[in-house]
Structure 1
Amino acid sequence: MKKYYLTLLLGAFILTCLSSVGWAETEKDVVAPEEQPRSQEVVPEKAIVPLDASVTDHTVTVAGKKLNYRARAELMPVFDDKGDEMGRVFYVAYSRTKVSGKDRPVTFAFNGGPGSSSLFLHMGAFGPKVVKSSPDGIGLPRPPYVVQDNEDTILEDTDLVFVDPIGTGFSRGFDPDSSESFWGVSEDVASVAQFIRMYLTREGRWGSPIYIAGESYGGIRATGLASALMDMGIMPSGIILVAPVASYGDLVPDSSNDRPYIHALPAMAAAAWYHGKLPEDLQSLPLEKVLYNARDWASSTYLKALWDGNGLSEEEFEAVLEGLNRYTSLPERDIKSLNLRVPPAVFLSGLLQDDRLMISRYDTRLTGPGGWYDYGEDPMFTLVGAPYYTAFMSYLRDELDFSTDREYLSGNDEALYRWNFQSGSEAFVGYPNTVDLLASAMRRCDFLKVFVAMGAYDMTCTADSILYTLGRLDVPVERLKENVTVKTYDGGHMMYTNPSAKAALKSDLDRFFGGR
């Protein structure tokens, strides 16, 4: 109590002193309550999101020939079984104009993640415009980042719809807490299938041949969609898989799953060959021969060794150790300490460790400074990060006349972390796997074509992992030979960042569509 009174007295003394020198309020300075200015109520603004489509007309020059097309950028609603809006899906569609015939194909394209928008296939591979890059596709271009005509667009063959699933790009669920309705293997397939149905209805494209194109995790989505669309009465004519995954068990190792180590070895050999690290007898061979030798050794000697495990004799262990050193160029002591199982991060850090360079998991041709591989600093993220994003934002506003205050999510980590992978497993528990869904679609439809594009320098979705997947399809062998096309390109996970690989991919897809 004494302290309280002392405080009051001290406050009164200070106020008296201020008044004596004229610093305190005088009576004439006091404004009556009713005369005080009223503060305006602040109403929080909301991001402006256009509900109407932006439709613009354009021309692109391909091989000296002008292609006229119409672009449509829009947030389309998707609905639940009760007819209530669940969310809005952003897409950009390109349709050839001045082209006769109602049987022109339409291809729905998307990237993977989960949580990745369609930005990369859109602005790097298939769209009529692409981000201008360095001549070799490896060096980081300097700003300003702009788009240019894509001479390798597949708009010649098919109309295109680039889809950003809910939680990516500008696409959002109606209820922020409803992500579980979209973020999962089967949930994602269902929502994208509903979008495709809506698009065919609103744009009058039910008579068009339907194609699906997916990259990376988009392989899970595309193979799942093939059967889902058939169940809805929509019969796809073809599926394009770019550096895909259809079974995570072929990519993710654990103490009882050695398959990913077998699948990764040829990709490691390709990287070592590219950087000149293999023994002379291998280094002097063309890449195709190196891959053949590595694949043959991995599927025989290496596979048996991992299967035998602790049953290996000392001589057998040493022989496998020597073979791994031969194809990866990693020191034998490091391989031995890992019990013959080389995780990707160890290889990406160790191959060029003398130069303190790490190599990219997405494209092992790319290097970056650092003694240990850091996923957040993967050189591929730098190459296609800011250049693609900046150029696309300008392109949307300046050429497609589409603008919104909403942030465009090229990648959404929250979606990845909250993804229900279990809804895509074949058994009660296990890895997500849509291989059987693809097989089911191919058994039901004898004309369903599948095109698979792989990058020789891809260590994210290794070429051998998808080859293993294709080899497990329960489909008549003759149908597989007739309907499945597999190509390997001189590039990584996004092989189209290499201009020569993109041109080769375009040429192969021309034949793929031409054979429908």
Structure 2
Amino acid sequence: MKNNRLMLLAATAMPLLFASAGSRAGDAAGHAKDPVEKPPHLQTDAVTTDGSVTVGGQPVPYQAVAGTLVVHAKGWDDSAAPDSEKDRNAGDDGNPTAQASMFYVAYLKKGAKPEDRPITFLFNGGPGSSSVWLHMGAFGPRRVVTADDTHTPMAPYKVVNNAQSLLDASDLVFIDAPGTGFSRIAGKDKEKQFFGVDQDARAFTDFITQFLSHYGRWNSPKFLFGESYGTPRAAVVVNELEQEREVDFNGVILLSQILCFDASGDAPETNPGVDLPYVVALPTYAATAWYHHKLPGQQTDLAHLLTDVERFADTDYAAALQQGAALDPARRDAIAQKLHDYTGLPVDYIRKADLRINVGMFQHELQEDEGKYVGRFDTRFSGPGMDPLSKQAEYDPQSAGISSAYVSAFNDYVRRSLNYGQDKTYKPDIMIEDWDTKHQQPGQSQAQPGPLNVLPDLAAALKYNPRLKVLLNAGYYDLATPFYEGITEMRHLPMSRDLQNNIEYKQYSSGHMVYAHQESLQALHDNVADFIRRASLPQDQPGHPSNGG
């Protein structure tokens, strides 16, 4: 089965890119026809329960709301909504009937004043992923326990009080994208209207503004949290919220970022002349080789190693790749040797690859002598190869190792504890074969085809609201969205240098799902909670990020 938590189809390549770790169940679930769910018109619903979570030794009582809000396709006018079931089924070219019921679980601290209580909207990626991963692995009040870097044993799975829940710092709203989880789509051209970069962002923008009205949260400090494909979604959504809906957000929190798909290391050979993917992936190759003890003259200090590798990647390696066939043979050999020192791959293999190692090749080759290959989402994981003669890896060991735990735990939790979904099928991931990659960047008159690049969107949001803060989080062992790729992207945001001060960076000894590693989960919680608290303060108050707090 394909991993589709990070899976945007770029125009010049086909990097089935994100999600956040698990994706096996999505293939079958995404195509299944659920006989009990064929609504001609989707409905809003909600179920409310009470709970409490202990974070930092302090109990946080909350109200949990599991439900759906209905959003419509572009061009919908609620004043012209059809009056009858017959009208809804017939359709109206002037008022599109395509709609989505977007499932969410909101955790709202009891007794808190809206203006004093931050609220954070969280989502995973895909496209085609629900938000079960962030919900059950990172910040919800209950967390499923999984093995650190090996396959988690089968059920029964252990679900515990999540001492790293973000409810100590913010109310939380976990959102499932249209068609995923318990979210559903209906109406004429429903896939076309919701399965695309701009269509998807519009649905999330509509959902968030509806939620603010429905729960009276317009005057709360507001944050977006996007993981994997959720990071380009967050960049587009925050700009739309600010410029089209006049809703300023306090901060955007990005986890495992990719905003420019030309930088993807999944199939860069299909885009010759663009060598950036090889450059930004190299530090992750080095960290992975270090973790698996494959480096010649193994260093003990990862931080020192990465400093050296990043410097080499940005200078000698980038310059050598740029020269292409004009590179001096002696210089080519020297670069190949240095790549061997930093990756552990054989010099001859590196030469044959013309100094260009894509992600799949590295996965396959690092532990080839052991008959294993490393994971893509988390390179600390290894798994046996399906075909010893294949050039690249055929499945992801981390996804195979933890997804059942997440999906099983959530299916049990949502029905037993949240009292929702007893007669519905939860779709953790769905396969989307025709995702519309065209995107209308700020200032452009129409959407353009090609590899997605939303750096202009995030830059526009920062320029439109120069008080907006951004926190970038990444794992050292993530090959789906290498940590140095995110750093490089941020350094190339098309905006004035002073706005770079609005961006903070945090790295962790984990993979794509940073929170799948216990120590990293604690650090992620602490960093994000601190960011939310500081960015929620009045701008002139000590401790705010603008004041060096």
Regarding TM over 0.5, the answer is: yes
Q: Which amino acid aligns with 1:364?
A: T
Q: Is 1:502 the equivalent of 2:515?
A: no
> 1:233 corresponds to which letter in structure 2?
E
Aligned counterpart for 1:439 among listed residues 451, 459, 467: 459
User: CA contact under 8 A between 2:373 and 2:393: conserved in structure 1?
Assistant: no
User: Is 2:50 the partner of 1:57?
Assistant: yes
- Of 395-404 and 249-258, the range deviating more from structure 2: 249-258
Is 1:191 aligned with 2:207? no
The answer to whether the 8 Å contact 2:36/2:424 transfers is no
- What is the CA-CA distance between 1:197 and the residue it aligns to? 1.0
The one-letter code of the counterpart of 1:172 is: R
Pairing 1:430-469 to 2, within 5 Å after superposition: 430-469=450-489
Equivalent position SS for 1:236: coil
Asked whether the 8 Å contact 1:137–1:499 carries over to 2, the reply is no
Identity of aligned residues (%): 34
Matches of 1:479 and 1:398, distance apart in 2: 46
Aligned to 1:76: 69
**Which residue pairs with 1:484 in the alignment?**
503
Which residue is 1:125 aligned to? 138
SS across alignment from 1:76 = strand
Distance 1:284 1:470 in 2: 29
Cα–Cα, structure 1 residues 409 and 183, in superposed 2: closer, same or farther, change >3 Å?
Answer: same
Name the counterpart of 1:90: 103
AA matched with 1:164: D
Matched residue of 2:486: which SS?
A: helix
Count of aligned pairs between the two proteins? 467
Contact 1:224 1:434 in 2 (8 A): yes
C-alpha deviation, 1:326, in angstroms:
1.2
Q: CA deviation at 1:394?
A: 0.2
**Structure 1 residues 199 and 450: CA distance shift in structure 2, 3 A:** same
- Which one of the candidate residues 406, 421, 426 is aligned to 2:437? 421
1:204 positional shift: 1.3
**Deviation digits for residues 287-310 of structure 1 (CA, Å, limit 9, x no counterpart):** 111111111111111111110000
Aligned residue for 1:312?
327
Q: Deviations over 1:194-222 (max 9, x none)?
A: 01111111111111121100001111000
Which one of the candidate residues 181, 191, 216 is aligned to 1:179?
191
Structure-2 separation of matches of 1:382 and 1:161: 27
Gaps of 5+ in 1: 1-43
| CA displacement at 1:101 relative to structure 2 | 5.2
Q: Deviations over 1:385-425 (max 9, x none)?
A: 11000000000010000024332221111x2x211112256
Distance in 1 of aligned mates of 2:403 and 2:464:
40
Displacement of 1:51: 5.2
Q: Residue in 2 aligned with 1:399?
A: 417
**2:48 maps to amino acid:** V
Matched, 1:363 2:378: yes
CA deviation after TM superposition for structure 1 residue 171, in Å: 1.0
Q: Does the 8 Å CA contact 2:299/2:305 hold for their aligned counterparts?
A: no
SS of aligned partner of 1:102 = helix
| Residues 424 and 432 in structure 1, CA contact (< 8 A), matched pair in contact too | no
Larger radius of gyration: 1
Q: Quote the offset at 1:430 in angstroms.
A: 2.5
Alpha-carbon separation, structure 2, partners of 1:478 and 1:360: 38
Which one has a larger percent helix, Structure 1 or Structure 2?
A: 1
Structure with the larger RCO, 1 or 2 (CA within 8 Å, 6+ apart): 2
**Aligned residue runs from structure 1 range 272-311, under 5 A:** 272-280=289-297, 283-311=298-326
* Pairing 1:239–2:247 present: no
Aligned AA (1:47): E
Amino acid at match of 2:222: I
1:375: how far off?
5.4
Aligned-residue CA RMSD (Å): 1.9
Q: Which runs of 4+ in 1 moved over 6 A?
A: none
CA contact (8 A) 1:358 1:367 kept: yes
Could you say which residue in structure 2 is the equivalent of 1:343? Answer: 358
* Aligned position for 1:263: 280
Secondary structure at the residue paired with 1:453?
strand
Q: Residues of 2 paired with 1:467 and 1:322: CA distance?
A: 26
